Amino acid sequence: MEKQEALAKRGPSSLSNARPAWTVGLLEEALLREFPERDAEEWDRTGLVVGERACPVAKVAFALDPTVSAIREAAAQGANVLVTHHPPFLSAPDSFAPENSVAQSPGAGVYAAIREGVALMCFHTALDVSPAAARVLPGMLGLSFTGKVIEPARTDTGEGVKGYGQLSDVRFGEEPVTLATLAARVTAVFGRQPRVWGDFDRVVRRAVTATGSAGGCGRAALAAGVDCLICGEVKYHEALDLSEAGLAIIELGHDVSELPLVALLVRTALAAGLDEDRVVVIDQASNWRLPEAIRL
């Protein structure tokens, strides 16, 4: 009886408050709950691509692209997992060699990951179509997101909230917003000069945002009577045809539009319980430069 009373009075042990031991598999499961593989395009790669699920997590690096240099930097900073938006490959590599780029050997990234002991996992189109990602560009630009997309994902339940091309109202105050004003805001927010198609004086009331490639969002936006498409990239002839049909286009740059999704991956992992001191973010914002920004 005395032993039972003593146990009842005893406080929780330190072991009961211990944080869960993160493994590569548990991290993958946490991210797949938010960005499930079923939402990804059938041709895509989702989740763990290289690595062992039972392996304990030391640190987790996050980046947009799983380049060989990013893998090496992750390892140098003590990370044994690299989480990216883009996959290390789509078609299976037919060669694996210790090169600096997949341009030299398609499996160079896989080779580097195994050599450095860095697991690779990615959440590409599953992330693209997620409701969380849908709010990123409209939120950054101060657009009034309607909560709807113009190209629903194949797994969307018919509500039009999961997919590509976020529909927003454009209001920055009482005065009408022109294409020039909207383009200036884009430049200020992203710190990069976009390529703009359309009359700078035209009023923009509704816009569609799309990270990465515009894909079919341009035609869908035109059919929906939208004034402007803000996207990562669009093919020249497609942009020419759409702009002549009356759709203004603000082209950010593929990576410029998707780098904010890296922060979303980080926030998702932290919300799942990953310790902040285990997070490493690899900066890939300077892969290219505008000549005007170079001082000789």
Domains of the chain: 24-124+258-281 (3.40.1390.30), 129-251 (3.40.1390.30)
Q: For residues 273 and 20, is the Cβ–Cβ distance under 8 A?
A: yes
Around 212, how many Cα atoms within 13 Å sit in the side-chain half-sphere?
Answer: 16
Q: What tokens were used for 240?
A: 């020419």
pLDDT at 37: 96
Task: Answer yes or no: are the C-beta atoms of 110 and 96 closer than 8 Å.
Answer: yes
What pLDDT was estimated at residue 173? 87
What pLDDT, on the 0 to 100 scale, is given for residue 1?
47
Q: What is the pLDDT of residue 296?
A: 60
Amino acid at 2: E
Calpha distance 253→138 (Å, rounded): 16
Q: What is the DSSP letter of 231?
A: E
**Phi, psi torsion values for 65, nearest 5 degrees:** -125, 135
Q: Splitting the chain (296 residues) into consecutive groups of 10 residues, what average pLDDT does each group show?
A: 46 49 97 97 97 98 98 98 98 96 97 98 97 97 96 85 95 94 97 96 98 96 97 97 97 97 98 97 91 66
Among 122, 120, 106, which Cα is nearest to 51's?
120
- 3-class DSSP assignment, residue 279: strand
- Three-class secondary structure assignment of 250-288: EECCHHHHHHHHHHHHHHHHHHCCCCHHHEEECCCCCCC
Rounded Cα–Cα distance for residues 21 and 208 (Å): 42
Helices (H) and strands (E) in the chain, counts: 11, 11
pLDDT of residue 295: 65
With beta carbons less than 8 A apart as the criterion, state whether 229 and 163 touch: no
Query: Apex CA 11: angle with CA 7 and CA 12, to 5°?
Result: 105
Q: What is the DSSP letter of 35?
A: S
pLDDT given for residue 293 in this prediction: 59
In this prediction, residue 160 carries a pLDDT of 74
Report the C-alpha gap between 232 and 252 in whole angstroms: 5
Tell me if residue 58 falls in helix, strand or coil: coil
Region for residue 165 given its phi and psi (left: phi exceeds 0; alpha: psi -120 to 50; beta: otherwise)? left
Rounded CA separation 50/215 (Å): 28
